[in-house]
Structure 1
């Protein structure tokens, strides 16, 4: 197909002509999405926030977020909740934590009910605060070593003892006394510097205890993907697949559209292109059975990729095209001879064009003149799946009439082969194009161009047609 398949006007044309099929596919996709949502139970998510007082670097906050979802914390949460059949491994995929602005760790929990989601988030936050406090050494175990406060008290008592020892030393009478007071002064200075460094390094001076900022809120809606999202996603997916499939099929289509392409597929000269006015309610190919009804219901029997018909001239200009084709036939044939007008079955445009050609040739036929009369034409419809053309009788050639882009090159080759098998030489090809007719301006009555009846199936020599 040409580059017309990638234009927006082509997509708009497809939506107008195949909207029923696209709607049905979208509904099917929505049903598939609904069925998929039944395989995934609803999930609810809520969050609890933990405040970290003091100054924290970004990497430290990320470390705390990792600690909040560690196996130690999650296993303790599972043991505390005691949900049947749910252990630490099952909860690890339902818990997440991230560092937010303002030294806040946001802990999220997901469960199959809103109440369980709230319990899970609250319990993870509590266990995280407890575990983080133990890591920081914030506990009241009497068997542990003395804390920084006890150490400060011991340093104050030592300073007082140093002062007492310095006052008790012999002031300036002996060298030993002076050395003792000097050593005691150095020891006091070292202790003061040690206490100062301890105060600077003590996290308790700059960071307080982590605080859970209230219980988690009870979730009011399902977590993504929800059932509605599954349904919408299924409908959109099927709709896009249908659109892309139509465009891909049109792109790889091997249906010849132009006259030279059709002539090359049939191996015969192109005699001309005729116009067929489009009907407001186009007649669709006849067919019975469930499959035919479904095709008509979904507009599958209408070619969507064909461009919008152009506006043609008046009735006189259209008849002139038919007369020119008949004149070329008369000039090309050596003498008066009859021709079969072969029309692919189901090609309504070609059928109407062939009927007009037969009527035009019959209105000016002259069997006694070889230079002025048009050849006698008889129209037959052949199936493109198994084409059978009547054997030679009064006709000694075939004229193929078909709509532009209606058949593939393989189908046209089969029609040409069927004509040759019946002893008919394909003398030419006529391409029928659908146009939008203008109102007739002539005052005279229109020329009667009744469409002759198709050759009855099964009565033509050589088999059914």
Structure 2
């Protein structure tokens, strides 16, 4: 598993190298969001405001909001609306009440049309006011309404009687009269405090009532999530999941990412890194595999997690110089100027082009044209990585493995090295090929011809 930190440059590389795939995934997510919008009909929401006059504490307002959205109120609203196929339990999921600033309760209703949403909010508001008035004792029952007033009249009469008794008592002449006047005053004080508590406990004394602040406004737009929200959310979610999937796959990848790690997996020395033009080859294999065609169409037939070159490669002469230096190091390492086996993984187009350039350098080596024959003759062999098989050793002086950076796992590279060892070939070195950007020539002359890919049938020299 890779331990490299995830940087913004990595995410930017995903968007650059997987642009077509991300566009297709985003379109698929948008289609899924559109399909979801067809399954869920549009909803409309509006609110009705109720003013609670008097002084209310915050916890009391919260209690009133809970009462407004309770089944006792919503069921009455459902019975008054009498909508076919809509029960009180279903309406409870569409009604929401909350306490706002200024002793205001906002009741929101959601329905499948603006008219129904308006009627639902207004009806729940009316039923809530009626229900709260009945709870607070504000009913039309004359006896219940007159009971508090009758009690107050009795208290007033009792106070007058106490005053008469206090005046009739001998004021301060005897101890008994003083005690009687004191007891009467205590009784008057107790009655006054009892009436004060009764007034405070009466909701009609400190809370005049509830007022509906006009009808609810008819909604002009759909309640979220709208169709646009679902389409955008589907596209964004699919896009994020794809990017996260790329990052997780990169973290779990076991492909060596550096030249030294690749050479260590092959058990050989690194001879150098060569550059090949990064453009796609003009002629692709004419396979009829639909999966391969789909991968090419989506742009996933090339790896994205290989770091991009920091600057464009030089011209053709600079690239040939790098190949020539690698070839010089290889000649210095070989024991005798015999044939050399160039092993490349099957399907590695970058390694194929690099091997072709090495074969071209070997063909133009002056040591090969001399009578001494002091340069090896390369022979290119392309082996499958799933079941690698290398020809048996004949007169070859070793095997040179040429492969691209970050394309193969350590197990696949070890399999190639074992195949070379089974065939009797010693891996004399490793060459890593990197695809780089090429500079656009500013002159009007012809651009240098690209190196032709080399396969099993192409040989650098005779046997």
Aligning the two structures, in what range does the TM-score lie when normalised by the shorter sequence?
0.7 to 0.9
Matched, 1:210 2:210: yes
Matched, 1:59 2:77: no
Distance in 1 of aligned mates of 2:238 and 2:123: 43
Distance in 2 of aligned mates of 1:302 and 1:39: 39
The one-character-per-residue Cα deviations of 1:236-269 (angstroms, maximum 9, x if unpaired) are: 1110011111112122222223222112212222
Distance in 2 of aligned mates of 1:76 and 1:281: 75
Match of 1:400 in 2: 401
The one-character-per-residue Cα deviations of 1:24-77 (angstroms, maximum 9, x if unpaired) are: 101111112222233333322221111111111111111111221223222222
Match of 1:120 in 2: 120
Map of 1:126-145 to 2, 5 A cutoff? 126-144=126-144
Map of 1:34-183 to 2, 5 A cutoff? 34-144=34-144, 146-155=146-155
Distance in 2 of aligned mates of 1:166 and 1:450: 127
Distance in 2 of aligned mates of 1:447 and 1:146: 109
Q: Secondary structure at the match of 1:402?
A: strand
Distance in 1 of aligned mates of 2:272 and 2:256: 16
Contact kept in structure 1, 2:337 and 2:373, CA below 8 Å? no
Question: 5+ residue gaps in structure 1?
Answer: 458-465
Distance in 2 of aligned mates of 1:215 and 1:448: 80
Match of 2:461 in 1: none
Match of 1:335 in 2: 336
Distance in 2 of aligned mates of 1:449 and 1:111: 67
The one-character-per-residue Cα deviations of 1:326-377 (angstroms, maximum 9, x if unpaired) are: 3333333332311121222222221222112112222226569897711011
Distance in 2 of aligned mates of 1:415 and 1:280: 26
Contact kept in structure 2, 1:341 and 1:377, CA below 8 Å? yes
Return the TM-score normalized by structure 2. 0.83
Shift of 1:147: 3.0
Distance in 2 of aligned mates of 1:193 and 1:335: 120
Distance in 2 of aligned mates of 1:452 and 1:284: 11
Q: Secondary structure at the match of 1:6?
A: coil
Contact kept in structure 1, 2:353 and 2:453, CA below 8 Å? no
Distance in 2 of aligned mates of 1:400 and 1:192: 107
Distance in 1 of aligned mates of 2:168 and 2:325: 140
Distance in 2 of aligned mates of 1:439 and 1:144: 98
Distance in 2 of aligned mates of 1:376 and 1:182: 132
Distance in 2 of aligned mates of 1:420 and 1:181: 124
Across the aligned residues of Structure 1 and Structure 2, the Cα RMSD in angstroms comes to 3.9
Match of 1:462 in 2: none
Return the TM-score normalized by structure 1. 0.83
Distance in 2 of aligned mates of 1:73 and 1:452: 81
Shift of the 449–326 alpha-carbon distance from structure 1 to 2, 3 Å rule, reads farther
Map of 1:383-422 to 2, 5 A cutoff? 383-422=384-423
Shift of the 269–149 alpha-carbon distance from structure 1 to 2, 3 Å rule, reads same
Match of 2:320 in 1: 319
Contact kept in structure 2, 1:5 and 1:250, CA below 8 Å? no
Equivalent residues, number? 453
Distance in 2 of aligned mates of 1:127 and 1:447: 86
Shift of the 436–111 alpha-carbon distance from structure 1 to 2, 3 Å rule, reads closer
Distance in 2 of aligned mates of 1:449 and 1:181: 124
Shift of 1:299: 0.7
Shift of the 140–162 alpha-carbon distance from structure 1 to 2, 3 Å rule, reads farther
Contact kept in structure 2, 1:285 and 1:346, CA below 8 Å? no
Match of 1:434 in 2: 435
Match of 1:278 in 2: 278
Distance in 1 of aligned mates of 2:269 and 2:40: 64
Map of 1:347-366 to 2, 5 A cutoff? 347-364=348-365, 366=367
Q: Secondary structure at the match of 1:325?
A: helix
Match of 1:376 in 2: 377
Question: 5+ residue gaps in structure 2?
Answer: 459-463
Shift of 1:178: 12
Distance in 2 of aligned mates of 1:51 and 1:427: 90
**Higher mean displacement: 10-19 or 33-42:** 33-42
**Higher mean displacement: 239-248 or 65-74:** 65-74
Match of 1:460 in 2: none
